[in-house]
Structure 1
Amino acid sequence: MQDIVDRYIGQFKEGYFSPLAMMARLSEEVGELAREINHYYGEKPKKKDEEEKTIDMELADCMFILICFANSLGVNLEEAFHAMMHKFNTRDKDRWTRKEETE
């Protein structure tokens, strides 16, 4: 995904935004996701004239910005993901109640 996004952004002279601008864009997208979650699962229904959006597309918008952010900072998300999972599987391995295994 990082390569696909990098090729897409690479076609434009402007390139990636600054880290501060990326943070602002990510905050905007997370806000849009929160709004959709609130409409679907919360107590706030959509207005009748409000555009229909989907949670999956809002999640994908967040992911796109996260990938742009990582690319602009030279972060390999696959490596970071595996390091984070190692943390969960070691430091936090007994933090949650595991389901009983059935055979």
Structure 2
Amino acid sequence: MTENGKSYSTDEIQERVDAYISQFKEGYFSPLSLMARLTEELGEMAREVNHYYGEKPKKSSETRKNIDEELGDIIFVLTCFANSLDIDMSEAFELSINKIETRDKDRWTHKG
């Protein structure tokens, strides 16, 4: 949930991002540019994870960010990617989770 207590469905996320991007003449970046942005955001998240859980603490001069913020940036860029290619994120997730639940159903030790 967000600070205001609201949860968003993937449809709502995609609609909100589209409403934002649609305000601008430039529209969505190309898939290649979005891939570069996603890579940048993943790098920023990796840096934060390393600062919190790894052996590399932040310098005192570095701005403190949190993993939530970085994950949100990744969700935004992924949503831009999906929207720009007319991909329904719920359908994409369904394809992925079905594959994982089938392929990996006996891969791990079940609880109880």
Report the TM-score, using the length of structure 1 for normalisation. Answer: 0.94
Counterpart for residue 49 of structure 1: 61
Rounded to whole Å, the distance in 1 between the matches of 2:37 and 2:95 is: 26
- Cα deviation for residue 91 of structure 1 reads 2.0
Match status 1:4 vs 2:16: yes
What CA deviation, in whole Å up to 9, does each residue of 1:60-79 have, x standing for no partner? 00110000001101111101
- Hey, what does 2:105 align to over in structure 1? 93
Task: Report Cα offsets for 1:13-33 as digits up to 9, x if no partner.
Answer: 000000100000000000000
Deviation at 1:11, TM superposition (A): 0.5
| 1:85 partner amino acid | I
* TM-score, with length taken from structure 2: 0.87
Q: CA RMSD in A?
A: 0.7
Among residues 27, 39, 46, which one is paired with 1:27 in the alignment? 39
- What is the DSSP-based 3-state SS (H/G/I as helix, E as strand, rest coil) of the residue aligned with 2:51? helix
Taking the aligned partners of 1:3 and 1:44, their CA distance within structure 2 comes to: 38
Task: Give me the whole-angstrom Cα distance separating, in 1, the residues matched to 2:103 and 2:47.
Answer: 33
Q: How does 1:59-70 map to 2 (within 5 A)?
A: 59-70=71-82
Q: Which runs of 5+ in 2 are unaligned?
A: 1-12
Percent of paired sites with the same residue: 64
Residue correspondences, number:
100
Larger Rg: 1
